[in-house]
Structure 1
Amino acid sequence: MGKLKFLIPILVVAAFLGLSSIFVVDEREKALVLQFGQIKAIKQEPGLSFKIPFIQEVVRYDDRILSLDTDTIEVTPSDDRRLVVDAFARYRIRDVVQFRQAVGIGGLPVAEDRLSSVLNAQIREVLGADQVTSDTILSEDRRSLMGRIQQNAQASAAGLGLDVVDVRLKQTNLPDQNLDATFARMRAEREREAADEIARGNEAAQRVRAQADRTVTETLSDAEREAQVIRGEADAERNAVYAEAFGADPEFFAFYRSLEAYEKALKGKNSSMVMTPDSEFFDYLRSGRISE
């Protein structure tokens, strides 16, 4: 029983020391074993590893591709047209020993601050180089410019133990004051184009209306001329019929013409005529003449 009292604490301490000496390296990370701040081992393969408890410590670093957004900066291309540029980079830790020696205990925050400064300097240098204009930055040549920024940044980041995998320009805009002036100029150009289109539309509408009015006038004129011709032909035919009827029976023709005159003269409810009773106009209304 007395031996158990001493054995149990010894086993507990041994188990604690054994567990403290074991650590696991994940496949997504790399680890350094430090002893009093000095690098004693590099663990880059995933699995179980060992260290001396209380004396050695493990510092882990992400082995995946990381993302860094840079601060928005202003650049001035060779055409002196200032642009506001916003970029981001993809990077990874290539050499954990060199990385540790470069940034010390600051880790990723210090490394990203230095890398951001490197990227901003390279963006200004590449985009502000000769023969690089704002139009070049906004054209298909933008890809080659980003490649140059990535290569230059890689050369500077190598001292930090980093690999710059890619650099992209997210936004390339004009400064606010220039942007307002550009929008105002674009708005004025659009309004001028709209006024030109409206003027051309009105001119075309006037031409169409004038052509339509001319067509209407010509059509009415042609119709009136044809109507006059038809009326003239009808009057001629009517006169021919009258003449033929007069030649066939003059008495009946005179009677028919008198009836037409009565119809036209006595049309309406309040027709009034003032003439002598023995007027020839009423010859066919007298009973004696009708009986004849």
Structure 2
Amino acid sequence: MQKLAIAIPVIALVAAVGLSSVYVVDEREQALVLQFGQVKEVKTTPGLGFKLPLIQTVKTYEDRILSLTTRPLEVTPLDDRRLVVDAFARWRITDAVKFHTATRGRGEPWAQQQLDNIITAQIREVLGGVPSTAVLSDDRISLMVKIRDSARAEAQALGVEVIDVRLTRTDLPDQNLEATYARMRAEREREAADEIARGNEAAQRIRASADRTRTELTSDAQRQAEIVRGEAQAQANKIYAEAYNKDPNFFAFTRQLDFYANTLKSDSSRIIAQPDSLYFDYDRFLQSLGEAPSQAQTAKPPAAQ
């Protein structure tokens, strides 16, 4: 019994020592075996590992890709328009020994603070060298690549790799939004006024050209009408002259009939003249035609006056 009582504590002690000398590395982690603060072994593959009990300790770090969301910050591009920018980054620990030394064993939280400082500094530097229009545009991949490369170069001292940096928000500060909107409205109104002025100018040119064309067409039509009218009048005069030469009395008679027709068109026409006026010479002749045939046959039209 006495031996058994001694053996049980010894077995328990050996088991405790054996268990303390074994450690497990998860597939999502990488481990460092430390002895008095010095790195003695690096284990990056998952599985069991062994260390000296009581003397050596194990420090594990993430082997997965980690994310970092930067704090919002104000940047001033080349055109002095302040912008509020925030970003997120993807990073991972590539050198556990360097990472442990750089962070002094304080791990990922301390490294995240350092990466936040590095990335925000690079954002200020890169965005400060371009106009705000380049930052606010949809095509800003080149800017994010430049920020990532610069941050990656600085982060190597921490034993980490910056995989990617993305700008999530690029907005104007609230106090500048209204002024920016007013300036944008003024620019659009100026562009609209320019378009209206150019449209009015083009309309005026078209209107003037149409008026000139109309005047030319009207003048040409009037000229041609006058030519046709003159030719017709000349032809009429020629016919009248030929008719007059054939029978002057008959020509005078027909002209007098035209004169009667023109002066007696209206029912209210009134003629005031002496009874022996020349106007009534043919009238009396026409009246004689309505009398007895014998008288009509003997009546002769008066000579042309």
Please indicate the TM-score interval, normalised by the length of the shorter structure. 0.5 to 0.7
Partner of 2:147: 146
**What displacement does 1:136 show?**
9.1
CA RMSD, 1 decimal: 4.6
Work out whether residues 69 and 87 of structure 2, in 8 Å CA contact, stay in contact via their aligned partners in 1: yes
Quickly say closer, same or farther: Cα 1:232–1:77, change in 2 above 3 A: closer
Rounded to whole Å, the distance in 2 between the matches of 1:236 and 1:77 is 88
- Preserved CA contact (<8 Å) 1:81 1:134: no
Asked if residue 284 in structure 1 is aligned to residue 283 in structure 2, the reply is no
Query: How many residues are paired up?
Result: 258
Q: Aligned with 2:131: secondary structure? A: helix
1:200 corresponds to: 198
AA aligned to 1:233 is E
Distance of 1:266 and 1:80 partners within structure 2: 95
Q: CA-to-partner distance for each residue in 1:38-78, whole Å, 9 max, x for gaps? A: 999865335x64899xx9x9997653433322122113457
Structure 2 residue corresponding to 1:250, chosen from 248, 253, 269? 248
- Counterpart position of 1:30: 29
Following the alignment from structure 1 to structure 2, what is the Cα–Cα distance between the partners of residues 287 and 73? 121
Instruction: Tell me the TM-score normalised to structure 1 length.
Output: 0.64
SS in 1 for 2:236: helix
Equivalent residue number for residue 69 of structure 2: 69
* 1:68 match: secondary structure: strand
Match of 1:4 in 2: none
Structure with max Cα Rg: 2
Q: Does the 8 A contact of 1:70 with 1:87 survive in 2? A: yes
Cα drift, residue 216 of structure 1: 2.4
Aligned partners of 1:103 and 1:110 also within 8 Å: no
Return the letter of the residue paired with 2:86: D
Give the match for residue 115 of structure 1: 115
Please state whether the residue corresponding to 2:87 is helix, strand or coil.
Answer: strand
Residue 261 of structure 1 pairs with residue 259 of structure 2 = yes
| Kept in 2: contact 1:32–1:58 (CA 8 A) | yes
- The question of whether the paired residues in 2 share the 8 Å contact of 1:67 and 1:90 is answered with yes
Range that drifts further, 83-92 or 162-171: 162-171
**2:187 aligned residue (186, 189, 212):** 189
Equivalent residue letter for 2:151 = Q
Query: Which residues in structure 2 correspond to 1:1-292 (within 5 Å)?
Result: 25-26=26-27, 29-32=28-31, 44-45=44-45, 49=48, 63-76=63-76, 81-96=81-96, 102=103, 108=108, 111-124=111-124, 126-127=125-126, 133-135=129-131, 138=134, 142=143, 145-155=146-156, 158-159=157-158, 161-268=159-266, 270-274=267-271, 279-282=280-283, 283-287=285-289, 291-292=296-297
Cα distance in 1 between the residues matched to 2:251 and 2:132: 102
Q: Which amino acid aligns with 1:135?
A: P
- Aligned mates of 1:83, 1:152 — CA distance in 2: 26
* CA-to-aligned-CA distance 1:170-223 (integer Å, 9 cap, x gap): 444443434443443343233233323323332333333233333323332332
- What TM-score, normalized to structure 2? 0.62
Separation in 2 of the partners of 1:201 and 1:247? 68
Q: Percent of counterpart pairs with the same letter?
A: 48
Cα separation, partners in 2 of 1:24 and 1:286, compared to 1, 3 Å: farther
- Is the 1:149–1:167 contact (alpha carbons within 8 Å) kept by the matching residues of 2? no
CA distance in 2, matches of 1:211, 1:267: 47
Structure 1 unaligned spans of 5+: 1-20
User: Given that residues 93 and 162 in structure 1 are in contact (C-alpha distance below 8 angstroms), is that contact kept between their aligned partners in structure 2?
Assistant: yes
Inter-partner Cα distance in structure 1 for 2:234 and 2:199 = 52
Give the distance between the partners of 1:265 and 1:23, measured in 2 at CA: 135
Q: Compared with structure 1, are the counterparts of its residues 136 and 222 closer, same or farther at alpha carbon in structure 2 (3 Å cutoff)?
A: closer
Q: What amino acid is the match of 1:119?
A: I
Give 3-state SS (helix, strand or coil) of 1:267's partner.
coil
d(CA) in 2 for partners of 1:227 and 1:78?
Answer: 73
Task: Give the secondary-structure state (helix, strand or coil) at the position aligned to 1:133.
Answer: coil
- Secondary structure, counterpart of 1:71 in structure 2: coil
Amino acid at match of 2:45: E
Residue pair 2:32, 2:40 contacting (<8 A) in 1 also: yes
How far residue 163 of structure 1 moved from its aligned partner, in angstroms, is 1.8
Structure 2 alignment gaps of length 5 or more: 1-21, 298-305
